[in-house]
C-alpha cells in the first residue's frame, strides 16, 4: 500500500494534513499572500519595512506612488522538489502580492529611496514639516 494512502493516528501523516493543498486551492494562502510591513516615523523620515524573502527585487518588485499612497507590488516564483525512495514531487508556487500604505501629505516621489537586504525591502521618505501650529487662543464670548 502507498504511504500516501496509509493512515495511522500515531504517525505524522493524517488525512487532515493531506487536506492542506485542497484548502489552499479554494481559500487561498492569505497568511502567505500578504506583504507584512512595519512603519516608523523617526527624525522626520518615514521608514516602511516590507518582508519579502526569496524575491529578486530588480525583477519581482515594483514600488509606485499614487494618490498619496505608496504601493509595493511583488511577484513570487518558487519551486520546491522532493526526491526520496524512487518518488519525485515538485511544487511550484506563483503569486502576486501588493500592499498600499497611506503617506503623509506633501511627500515627493523624487525623495523616496528603497533598499533590499536579507529579505527585507526598506523604503524611506522624508516627511514634510507641518505648518507651524498657532498657539492655543481663547475666544471671548459676548452677551447681547
Domain segments of the chain as ranges: 32-126
Q: What is the pLDDT of residue 23?
A: 46
* Structure confidence by residue, pLDDT tens digits, 93-123: 678 889 999 998 888 888 999 999 999 999 9
The predicted model gives 14-28 an average pLDDT of 48
User: Does 2.60.40.790 match the CATH number of domain 32-126?
Assistant: yes
pTM of the model: 0.60
**Sheet containing strand 69-84, strands side by side:** 61-66, 69-84, 87-102
Amino acid at each position: 500500500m502507498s504511504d500516501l494512502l496509509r493512515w495511522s493516528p500515531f504517525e505524522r501523516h493524517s488525512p487532515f494534513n493531506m487536506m492542506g493543498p485542497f484548502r489552499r486551492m479554494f481559500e487561498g494562502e492569505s497568511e502567505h499572500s500578504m506583504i507584512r510591513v512595519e512603519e516608523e516615523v523617526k527624525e522626520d523620515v518615514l521608514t516602511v519595512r516590507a518582508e519579502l524573502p526569496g524575491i529578486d527585487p530588480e525583477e519581482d518588485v515594483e514600488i509606485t506612488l499614487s494618490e498619496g499612497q505608496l504601493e509595493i507590488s511583488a511577484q513570487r516564483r518558487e519551486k520546491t522538489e522532493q526526491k526520496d525512495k524512487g518518488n519525485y514531487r515538485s511544487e511550484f508556487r506563483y503569486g502576486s502580492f501588493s500592499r498600499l500604505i497611506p503617506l503623509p501629505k506633501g511627500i515627493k516621489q523624487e525623495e523616496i529611496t528603497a533598499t533590499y537586504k536579507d529579505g527585507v525591502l526598506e523604503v524611506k521618505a522624508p516627511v514634510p514639516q507641518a505648518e507651524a501650529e498657532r498657539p492655543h487662543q481663547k475666544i471671548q464670548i459676548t452677551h447681547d
